[in-house]
Amino acid sequence: MKKIRLLSTLILITSLMACDQDDANTSSIYGNTGQTGLGFLTSSISTVVPVEGSSVTLNVQATTTSTTERNFNVKVNEASTGASGDYTLGIITIPAGSYDGTLNVSFVDTNLVDLVSYSLVLDLDFPLDVAAVGSKTATISYNKYLVCNDFVLTLNEDNYGSERTWDITDADGSVVESGGAIFRHRCASANCRNHDFSRWML
């Protein structure tokens, strides 16, 4: 029993020392000691990726300035769900004399699946003399851009319009939509969330 108490005491002391060290780092950041803190200003953002690609800019802020440009790295967190070929990471750049910096991330549609949302989770990766202030992690949610093919089909019927039926086929000749002479709201694809096979008016 004494050994268990001794072990518990040692763990508690170690934890308190670690907390004291973190508190000391945080205190030194705001104590005009020159200690630099760095953090993302936004912890989450989203984008869509069209065929030509897209880019996202994440803003970061430091607690100190420098007479020279500063660069910091980020690393991809294992919680990310996207493939490494989906994106290209830049580096954090803070211009000389500024507190504010940016990180650019470019996305390409290599093999994105319709209606699937992916996430890229980024962690700040800075040296030991820099501490985290604010958000150390930023998550970019991204998905494939879907082209909406909205159109209106108008049938100018005669007195026998109620007997009319119609089919819409794809390039292979398969029927993708069919109907009769009634007002309906349709979607031209089984996978469409943004597609709207609009309406027809008689």
Find the mean pLDDT for residues 177-199: 50
The structural architecture, per CATH, of the domain 35-144 is Sandwich (2.60)
Contacts of 184 (CB under 8 A, 6+ apart): 199, 200
Q: Are strands 130-132 and 100-107 parallel, antiparallel or unpaired?
A: unpaired
Residue 50 CA to residue 68 CA, distance in Å, equals 37
The closest of 108, 72, 78 to 90, measured between CA atoms, is 72
Distance of CA 187 to the CA centre of its chain: 28
| Confidence category of residue 182, pLDDT binned at 50, 70, 90 | low
Contact 58, 40 (CB under 8 A): yes
User: What residues does each domain of the chain span?
Assistant: 1-33, 35-144, 152-201
Arithmetic mean of pLDDT, 112-134? 91
Report the pLDDT averaged over residues 161-185. Answer: 71
31 token code pair: 């104590």
Helices (H), the chain: 2-29
Question: Residue 150 class from Cβ within 10 Å (0-12 exposed, 13-18 middle, 19+ buried)?
Answer: exposed
Residue type, 7: L
Distances (CA, A) of 117 to 74, 96, 145: 22, 37, 11
pLDDT-based confidence at 90, cuts 50/70/90? Answer: very high
The pLDDT of residue 14 is: 47
Can you give the pLDDT at residue 201? Answer: 39
Q: Six-digit token pair at 164?
A: 């009319």
CB 28, CB 88: distance < 8 Å:
no
- Tens of pLDDT, residue by residue over 58-82, are 999 999 999 999 999 999 999 999 8
